Amino acid sequence: MTGFLAGLCVAVLPLLAAGFWLGRRTARPESLGDLGTPVEHATFQTLHTASLAAPSLRAGLTEETARKSARRLRTLLGTDALCLTDQKQVLVWDGVGGHHRGEIMERLAGPLETGRGEAFPLSCATPDCPVRWAVVAPLTVDDRVHGALVACAPRESAVLVRAAGEVARWVSVQLELADLDRSRTRLIEAEIKALRAQISPHFIFNSLAVIASFVRTDPERARELLLEFADFTRYSFRRHGDFTTLADELHAIDQYLALVRARFGDRLSVTLQIAPEVLPVALPFLCLQPLVENAVKHGLEGKADACHIQITAQDAGAEALVVIEDDGVGMDPEELRLILAGEIGPSGGIGLSNVDDRLRQVYGDDHGLVIETAVGAGMKITARVPKYRPGVHSAARLTSE
């Protein structure tokens, strides 16, 4: 019997969980029934119906969104038939009398042109056709007509004309918001493009200078460094794809460090601890190299003895944890906060704030850089990179083994 009960529990638990989730997803404040006067109740009802129609309209006016919202809008207006159109065709016809589609589109040419509402009787051959009369209210975004809301009724009604106008205005506001959403997305995309990492001009100059210094004394070394430099610049100037793999990014860091070591020799030591599991992780292109560059700068700045940099990449469940640590001069946390907030420009290179911005844009605000530092205490930068995020795909193949 205990076996039976336990088996039942095992079966029921996931079902309960699924039910809980479904319930939460579909929960609607239906329990307002006893709240307030009938008028207030009707207001709640109307507002609630409107709020249900809003989310789909916020994605713009398409066949899909029109289909999802039309039923709600018809409830809102209480008509027999409701139709949403764009400038060329009927997107959805909800309710009775679908055979009037063609006629409606013909009669819409005027209102769509002028942007003014209109009400007109429908001519119909069917003797008991339930819709005899239509109200057209145009949907406008920024004074441009995007489509029309058509409400059909058996007879003329001034209330319906007024209501259809109001609903159309509300839908227009939603569509305007959708337009805003779209521009915001475009803005973010443009920002990402603008933020695309660039290697610092100082680095190019310094590298060429150090290579030049080897040309006579050690031509072989100079040649190797030049090749590293060529590889590194090719990686950082490449134009396809916004994302790369951790393996490729580490490869670029290696080339970068080879050039820096040529300049500073023994003063710079680097240790690596990389979990091989996270090497295929896709991440924004050139988002770790600037951190290493920053560590090198801080580590060597203002002190004559050696600097040590530690690069760690750990496997942490569904995320990769990348830590870059130096034992250099560190930084005042307050100043760092200002830099990250964008109030002080970075002194050179791409800077931490750029990397931070890009990580936040791609992975969300809880995936920004975590920086631990104090004056004279070195700096430890932690980046959490999710192993999977929709839309994040490395464009290049991993370096072959």
Partner 1 sequence: MNFSYAVTAVALVVVATVLVGAFGLRISRTTSDFYVASRTVGPRLNAAAISGEYLSAASFLGIAGLVLVQGPDMLWYPVGYTAGYLVLLLFVAAPLRRSGAYTLPDFAEARLASQGVRRLAGAFVVGVGWLYLLPQLQGAGLTLAVLTDAPDALGGIIVAVVVVATVAAGGMRSITFVQAFQYWLKLTALLVPALFLILAWQGDGAPRQAFDEPATFREQRSVRVKDTLDLRLERPLTVTVSGTVDGRRHDTERVALSAGTHRFERGTRLAFAPGDPVPAAARGAGGGMSTSLATGREERPLYATYGLILATFLGTMGLPHVVVRFYTSPHGVAARRTTVAVLALIGGFYLLPPVYGALGRLYAPELALTGDADAAVLLLPGRMIGGLGGDLLGSLVAGGAFAAFLSTASGLTMAVAGVLTQDVLPSRGVRHFRLGTVLAMAVPLAASVLVGGLPVADAVGLAFAVSASSFCPLLVLGIWWRRLTPPGAAAGMLVGGGSAFLAVAATMAGLPGTGSLHALLAWPALWSVPLGFLTMMLVSLATAARVPPGTAAILARFHLPEELHAEAKA
Q: Closer to partner 1 at the Cβ: 48 or 261? A: 261
366 binds partner 1 (CB under 8 A): yes
Residues in 172-201 that interact with partner 1 by CB under 8 A: none
Rule CB under 8 A: choose which of 68, 107, 251, 360 binds partner 1. Answer: 251
Q: Closer to partner 1 at the Cβ: 167 or 286? A: 286
Give CA–CA dist 195/357, Å, rounded.
8
Rule CB under 8 A: choose which of 53, 83, 222, 282 binds partner 1. Answer: 282
The 54-73 site mask, x for binding partner 1 (CB under 8 A), equals ---------xx---------
210 binds partner 1 (CB under 8 A): no
Q: Closer to partner 1 at the Cβ: 204 or 396? A: 396
Q: At its nearest, how many Å lie between partner 1 and the CB of residue 311? A: 9
Q: At its nearest, how many Å lie between partner 1 and the CB of residue 166? A: 30
Angstrom distances, CA of residue 206 to CA of 3, 92, 210, 249, 267: 74, 64, 6, 21, 16
Q: At its nearest, how many Å lie between partner 1 and the CB of residue 8? A: 6
Is 192 within 8 Å of 361 (Cβ atoms)?
Answer: yes
Q: Closer to partner 1 at the Cβ: 21 or 205? A: 21
Quote the crossing angle between the two packed helices 352-363 and 158-195, to the nearest 10°: 140
316 binds partner 1 (CB under 8 A): yes
Report phi then psi at 36, rounded to 5.
Answer: 70, -175
Q: At its nearest, how many Å lie between partner 1 and the CB of residue 42? A: 32
Report phi then psi at 2, rounded to 5.
Answer: -60, -35
The first and second tokens of residue 268, run together, are 């710079």
The first and second tokens of residue 105, run together, are 């589109």
Q: At its nearest, how many Å lie between partner 1 and the CB of residue 270? A: 5
Q: Pairing state of beta strands 379-386 and 319-326?
A: antiparallel
Question: What are 385's strand-pairing partners?
Answer: 320
Q: Closer to partner 1 at the Cβ: 183 or 273? A: 273
Quote the crossing angle between the two packed helices 38-57 and 63-77, to the nearest 10°: 170
> Which of 362, 387, 361 lies closest to 246 in space, CA to CA?
387
266 binds partner 1 (CB under 8 A): no
Residues in 375-394 that interact with partner 1 by CB under 8 A: 387-388, 390, 392-394
Q: Which of these ranges, 43-51, 93-101, 265-273, 338-346, lies near partner 1 under the rule CB under 8 A?
A: 265-273
Rule CB under 8 A: choose which of 61, 161, 257, 350 binds partner 1. Answer: 257
Give CA–CA dist 291/310, Å, rounded.
12
269 binds partner 1 (CB under 8 A): yes
> Which of 140, 159, 186, 11 lies closest to 78 in space, CA to CA?
159
Question: How far does CA 32 lie from the centroid of its chain?
Answer: 36
Q: At its nearest, how many Å lie between partner 1 and the CB of residue 249? A: 10
Place of tokens 């095992």: 10
Rule CB under 8 A: choose which of 240, 265, 305, 365 binds partner 1. Answer: 240
Rule CB under 8 A: choose which of 317, 334, 345, 365 binds partner 1. Answer: 317
Which residues lie near partner 1 (CB under 8 A)? 2-11, 13-14, 17-18, 21, 63-64, 239-241, 245, 247, 250-251, 254, 257-258, 261, 269-277, 279-280, 282, 310, 314-318, 366, 387-388, 390, 392-398, 401
